[in-house]
Amino acid sequence: MNDDTHVDLEDLQHVAEMLLDAGSPFVAPCDDGDCADINNDGQIDLDDLQALATILLDAGTPFIAPCL
């Protein structure tokens, strides 16, 4: 999400900030080049934040996963 070639807590923070900036109901558009639409449903929402958190939890400590 932040273009540093790996998925980590900074990416989770980036997506959370996108949703907070979008306001309630916490749905953001998916812009080209900055897409955090993890589940490919055409919008960035809390489901994507949860999916990203799951990816990081599955990666284990230090919560870094390779980019796919």
Give the whole-angstrom CA distance, residue 64 versus residue 6.
7
In angstroms, how far is CA 13 from the centroid of its own chain? 8
Please indicate, yes or no, if residue 38 is contained in any of the structural domains.
Answer: yes
Whether residue 39 lies inside any domain: the answer is yes
- In this predicted model, what pLDDT tens digit does every residue of 9-47 receive, in sequence order? 999 999 999 899 999 999 988 876 667 888 888 899 999
Per the listing, tokens 């284990």 go with 60
pTM beyond 0.85: the answer is no
Q: What's the number of domains the chain is made of?
A: 1
- Asked if residue 1 is part of any domain, the answer here is no
Note down the domain range covering 25: 6-66
Residue 42 in any domain: the answer is yes
